[in-house]
Every structure is written in C-alpha cells, then in structure tokens.
Structure 1
Amino acid sequence: MGSPVRVAIIADSPQVRASLQALVEASPTLRFAGSAADARMLADRLAGSVPDVIVFDAEPEASDAPKAGFDIGHSPSALVMLTDEADSEWILDALPGDATAILPRDAMPGEIVASIEAVAAGLYVLSPEIVGRLLSGRTPPRQTATGTPVEILTSREIEVLMMLAEGLSNKEIARQLDISDNTVKFHLAALFGKLGATNRTEAVMLGMRHGFVML
C-alpha cells in the first residue's frame, strides 16, 4: 500500500511522547519522523522536512497550543489531535483546513493507528457532535433538485458508493481499492453523514436519488 506514513509527535509530556513513538514504531504502515514538546521545536528538529501526519497531544491547560503551534509555515497535510476537550469551542477554531482526526486522550492504540491512516488518506475522523457543529455554520456546496442540501462526495467516496450498489462487502471493497478495512469504514461513515443515510441500502438509494450512482 505504498510507502509508510511519516508521523511526527507533539506532546508536552516525555512519557506521552515515548508512548506514542512506540505505538508508531510498532506499526508496519507507519514510520516515526520525530517528536518534540511543541510545534516550533518540532519544526526545528525536522529541519524543513514535513511529515505526512502530526499526532498532537492537547493537554487541558494548553488550549491555545494548536492555534499558535501550527501557524509556523510548515504544517502537515493531516493532524490527529488527542484531547479531553473535544466539545470545547477552541477545538473548532484550531482545526486546520485539511484532514483531521480528534480523539480522546485515552483512545485505544488501534484507534490512534487507524485514525493516522485515515487522515493520511485525506479523511476526517470526528464525533457526530463535532460534525454537526461544523456543518451548522457552513453552506453546503451542492443543492439537489428537491432542494435538499447534500455535501459533495469525493471521487473515492463515489467509488465506495458504487461498490455498495454492486453489493460488495467491506473486505471486498478494501481488496479492490487496495486500502484497509478501517479505511473503508471511515469512507462509509463519511458517506452516511453526507447523504443522511443510516445503512448501506439507504446510502445507495440516496446516492441514486442525488445522481451519485447510475445503474
């Protein structure tokens, strides 16, 4: 599935940095790129090299850190944020424009690895509450003939939707697209959220209604 994802770590605690580094180094799909206590120190240590993903441990008392720390001209295309304050207003203000995951700081190792892989593939990993708050302040880019607003699907999401219409399972979709089962699940979650679907059949029906699927 290509080169390993280069992962850098920002965490104030040396213990947390060591734990996350061990997690990255234990995964064959990831490669450890470096770590530091803050973003500026990390940028200095990376010497201009930009990792694919940064894992950022946001301690409760460091609520200003993301906004200040990633405005350094060397921000990566993807961010995994570990925080105990996922419902705080500053989280939404701090989000970069590109792929992002927000997880609790006590997330399981498998969840962190899956989220790193997901954001490296250009996906968001957010709770339904955060998604709702983000969408509430946006004007959807697509308007259907019925007047119901629908988020535009990515080309990969349309591929997954077409395979759903063909009746393929998650494992079959993963095999055909050469991605992991977890990545398929993230695509499905994004599809369901954008289409307002609650299951695979409804997603296909809504995809046909909105012109994403042609049978």
Structure 2
Amino acid sequence: MSGGQKAHMAPVRVAVIAESPHVRASLQALVEASPALGFAGSAADAEMLADGLAGSVPDVVVIDMEPDASDAPKTAFDLAHSPPALVLLIDDTDSDWPLDALPGDAMAILPRNAMPGEIVMSIEAVAAGLCVLPPDILARLQAGRKPSRQAVSGAPLEALTSREIEVLTMLADGLGNKEIARQLDISGNTVKFHLASIFGKLGAANRTEAVMLGMRHGFIMV
C-alpha cells in the first residue's frame, strides 16, 4: 500500500459546534459510530472549540445552527493551517445567507432533522473537497450565479480536480461505480459525489456525455 493510500485510510477528524449539550452528544455518538470518522472534540461555540483543540485543526466541523441564526458561521481556527470543511445543520434552507458562505470552501448544508446517514455521507463528501446542497439552494445558486448553457458555449470550462480526472478516465474505461470505488479506495457515495461534480462542470447529462465532453476538452485521452 502506498503512502497516499495510507493517508487516505486515516479517519476524517470531525469536530462539533452546537449550543445544545444534547445535540453535541448526539453528533459525537454519530461520528464515533462511523469507522471512517474520528471524533476530535466539541464545544458550544467556535472560540471554545478552537481553545479546546489547542491549535489542532480538524478536517471537518459540523455546526448546528440555532433557529435564529442569520449569519455564516465563523470557525475561529488559525488560518495559517488549511481551514476545516464545514457541514451546516440549519432549519431554514430558504434563507439566502448560506449562499454567501459558499465560495471557495467545501461545505455541506443540511436540514437539522437530516438522517444520520445523510450527515455521515456529507462529512465524507466535504472531506473529499465537495459541496453538498439541498435542491432549493442549488437551484437558487444556479439561477443567480450561472449563465445558461447556451451563453457559456465556447467559454472555458471549470477545471476538473485530479481526482475527478481519475474518475472520468475510469468512466471512459467502462468501469462502474463499485469498481471505481475499489480502485481508488473510496466509498461508493464519494464516487457519486465526484460524478455529480464532473457532470456539473462539464454540463453533461449522463456518463457517456461526460466521457465525450472530457475527451473533447482534453481532460482525458482514450
């Protein structure tokens, strides 16, 4: 096993911010029940969490947003290190403030009543550098920030990441999701998140179109 694979196998370090002790305990139990995740610590707010971790920065921070929250959360970690990815649990996905929190950082936005499996999947996704958004937020993001496909014809495409290129190359070789997951040593859910990101960046409707567009734009050679 290569050093890169060993690094990938390390548990994702997850911290929790929640005002409610009950919510903190529930999220801690959820993290500790997943073999792929490691619990790093929890606190009622970001400053207390940063103090408690004594300079250590987790991979992902799960933040339970109270109903009256109206601003993007601040994680209060030393930005000399790579900032953690965020999983936000919010009551009102119709609010506009989550859109202002999105640029640049991997993030998931889920309702506070999300199922445990959805939260775990989202933690794994943001740890892999992806974003997970409810359909209504995604629709507003696309309507407000993306021109139509006709308008972008001929415009430079958003670059694929190295991992997305790996996945796309395997698609071109005819591999299914399970085989891609096995070869890259990632979960099937992570493969699905990568595929969704690839389709979105290329404007592809299915796997075949993604491969064709990937070849056309020089992302893969077959």
Determine if the TM-score, normalized by the shorter chain, exceeds 0.5.
yes
Q: 1:1-215 to 2 correspondence within 5 Å?
A: 1-64=8-71, 66-67=72-73, 69-73=74-78, 76-95=83-102, 97-134=104-141, 136-137=144-145, 147-215=154-222
Give a deviation string over 1:176-203, Cα, whole Å, max 9, x none. 1111111101000101111111211121
**For 2:157 and 2:115, how far apart are their aligned partners in 1?**
33
**For 1:138 and 1:199, how far apart are their aligned partners in 2?**
20
SS in structure 2 of the partner of residue 49 of structure 1: coil
Q: Cα–Cα, structure 1 residues 149 and 104, in superposed 2: closer, same or farther, change >3 Å? A: farther
Stretch of structure 1 that moved more, 167-176 or 146-155:
146-155
**For 2:193 and 2:35, how far apart are their aligned partners in 1?**
20
Q: Cα–Cα, structure 1 residues 213 and 8, in superposed 2: closer, same or farther, change >3 Å? A: same
**Aligned partner of 2:62: which letter?**
V
**Aligned partner of 2:107: which letter?**
T
**For 1:196 and 1:187, how far apart are their aligned partners in 2?**
14
**Aligned partner of 2:169: which letter?**
M
**For 1:6 and 1:154, how far apart are their aligned partners in 2?**
23
Q: Cα–Cα, structure 1 residues 126 and 16, in superposed 2: closer, same or farther, change >3 Å? A: same
**For 1:73 and 1:62, how far apart are their aligned partners in 2?**
23
**For 1:41 and 1:97, how far apart are their aligned partners in 2?**
25
Q: Which blocks of at least 5 consecutive residues in structure 1 are unaligned?
A: none
Q: Cα–Cα, structure 1 residues 151 and 88, in superposed 2: closer, same or farther, change >3 Å? A: same
Query: Percent identity of the aligned residues?
Result: 73
- The alpha carbon displacement at 1:129 in A equals 4.3
Q: Contact 1:174–1:184 (CA<8 Å) still a contact in 2?
A: yes
**For 2:170 and 2:136, how far apart are their aligned partners in 1?**
28
**Aligned partner of 1:185: which letter?**
K
TM-score, normalised by the number of residues in structure 1? 0.87
SS in structure 1 of the partner of residue 68 of structure 2: helix
Q: Contact 2:55–2:77 (CA<8 Å) still a contact in 1?
A: no
What RMSD, in angstroms, separates the aligned Cα atoms of the two structures? 2.3
**For 2:103 and 2:36, how far apart are their aligned partners in 1?**
24
User: How many pairs does the alignment contain?
Assistant: 209
